[in-house]
Structure 1
Amino acid sequence: MQYRQHAAAGAAAVTGAARVAIVPLILIVSLFFLWGVANNLNDILIKQFKKAFELSDLQAGLVQSAFYLGYFVFALPAGMFMRRFGYKGAVVTGLALYAAGAFLFLPAAQMHTYGLFLLALFVLASGLAFLETSANPLVTVLGPPQGAARRLNLAQAFNPLGAITGVLIGRYFIFSGVEHTPEQLAAMAPAAREAYLASESAMVQGPYLVIGIIVALWALLVLFTRFPRIDEGADSGSGFSHLGKLLRNGRFVFSVIAQFFYVGAQVGIWSYLIRYAQDVVPGTPERTAADFLTASLVLFMIGRFVGTALMRRVAPTLLLAVFAAVNVVLAAVAIAAPGTVGLYALVVVSFFMSVMFPTIFAMGLDRLEDNERKLGSSLLVMAIVGGAVLTAAMGLTSDLFGIHWAMAVPLACFVVILGFAWRYRKVEAVV
């Protein structure tokens, strides 16, 4: 996911480090790719499980609810674990949980049980919470301090690559290309119908088995690789002693709210883009619809580079406001003009979402004291539970009014982000 990559604030320097620790850095940077794969495979799973289990949009959206609930529940425990056992211990634990969640897809498919799939996703996401809590600051300390930002930007570039890879894995190895209408399913003999649904459920086994094996091997590589000694220092801001002060900080609280709505918008749009494409352009095959999702992720990656370049000349707060305003318009087009025009508008939204998570994250931590930043970072990471709540809300809206009306949820999210950016800009203009 794209949107939890700036929790590096407050990381300590490597003791006596004079050069980049190449092998450990390669192993840790690869994690950004690995969790990008997992995050965006969910967008494929929503469509696949809707077909395999004959789910409503709300029920299918529980894929993201289970996934991001895992992040929410384990964000703070992962941080406490890291402070007790160090960066490397947290990374190995995260990879072990990631692999365990992937392997749980095998019995879930064999039993053809949707609830077990949701449990597998929860376990997998708990591992990603450990990885994202530890990998971001670890990248910054695996070398000289003056190169920390450059190393983190390099690592972040691998996340959208992983996201695109996840969608391509789903397109070619999970989607069977066999789609039956409800009428065709109803006309099938019971045994044939059950065999078809079971076969669609089983399509996820191979990809997740391979992912689980790769992740488990990566855990062993990290475990047996010698990392440089890292002085992680005392973490006086890790407890809840500063929580009250943070909650009295209106700008920080607004940033958490904005992050909640941003992640909800991003996850929701990507989760239902395939569904939207097939609904508003009847006859679109699922694999073709997945290509629109791939295009969205490519635009997201391009937008990240363009946005970073623009920030050299445009204030980040102003750029965030402009991008949010554009997305309000694009989401409105997706609602008002369901069809090819609305579909392309929804694809282009991803370009303008690209800068939102890191900009909101940085704005939220701005002007916080050092002993508040780690707790603040954890709370901003926990705000990604918006992906769980608002994706389900979109599913419910779709079931009641149609998939194009579900885009009213991200439209409202972008309005909140616009309000946050504008208010923050006004505050800065006064200071």
Structure 2
Amino acid sequence: PCYLTYTNEATHKILRDNMDRAPMANGIIEGVGPRYCPSIETKILRFPDKDRHQLFLEPEGLHTNEVYVQGMSTSMPMDVQLAFLHTIPGLEHCHVMRAGYAIEYDCIDPTQLKPTLEFKAIRGFFSAGQSNGTSGYEEAAAQGLIAGINAALLLKGEEPVVLRRSDAYIGVLIDDLVTKGTHEPYRMMTSRAEYRLLLRQDNADMRLTPIGRRIGLVTDARWDRFLQKKAAIEDALTALHDATLTPSAAQNAALEEAGIAPIHTACTAYDLLKRTEVHYEQLRTALPDLPALTQEVETQVEIQSRYEGYIKKQMEQVAHMERLESKKIPENINYNDVPSLRDEAREKLAAIRPASLGQASRISGVSPADVSVLAVWMESQRRMQAAK
């Protein structure tokens, strides 16, 4: 069990009185800390109007009496830590096993990296983890996975894996880092993804298993299970489209018995499933010829039908972006040779050296007009080469 408690004015007074002793607050540590888990002294300075801050008391394990105070990270000296902890309800008589501490670490500028996480200037040298400017275990692990995959593929002489922003959150994470850089520890928030309707947990296998299979990370058994699930989804969708319902007395009686409102015009079972109150199992009750589905396949079928219009619109946006992504920019391009580019765009493009027009369009300071100028120039160069 975990417990909830709060700081109070006595806690805040001790912190304010000793603020000059905290490296996170007195200037000894200059680095920008993670935005989403600030130290308690940072909270006191940043939110002076708050008379209390929430703390979670979390047991460290089943076989220990240690409790972690979540929300109370600190760089204060040990005597101050003991003093303010004893002001908190539930911790009046606590003992400290290990003091809180602050860290400051450097990171590389991630715009030095290709989308494969290989350094642009050093062939075969890949970088992953918090040293690329991220905060959090999942972010670090995601980069390690991609860097490891691409290091292995480079040794084998095979094409690298670059996940697109529409493929996975890993794709959003890495694209943000290598295209925009970061001025504070980067956290992968869902709001950073413009295609998050496509990046759902229920379709992660549909999106990524074929990529894993191509690079040798998916076993035959897992691949067979994937193909069976994919076929089951496709068969169910086909059956739903093929099942036509007419507003007859018998048909409406069958629908009402299944808990579905009667119909007044002819429609397909697929159209009925778009109703938010209708579920696949209800349709099977009214239409026994529909195939039986596992729960995960049923969920996938319901989502695909119910959100079809929104998903289709997002896929059109992805297709537009992919047209830009498919137009690769030569690695040796000299942006000084491109006329009509604005100076800021020229400077940013030369610094980031994007791999495609799509990546170029996401660089801060590069406008759609700049991308158009670059696209026209690249096409003119291609035609000149073809004419030779």
TM-score of the superposed pair, with normalisation by structure 1: 0.23
Return the structure number with greater helix share. 1
Return the structure number with greater strand share. 2
**Higher Cα radius of gyration:** 2
TM-score of the superposed pair, with normalisation by structure 2: 0.25
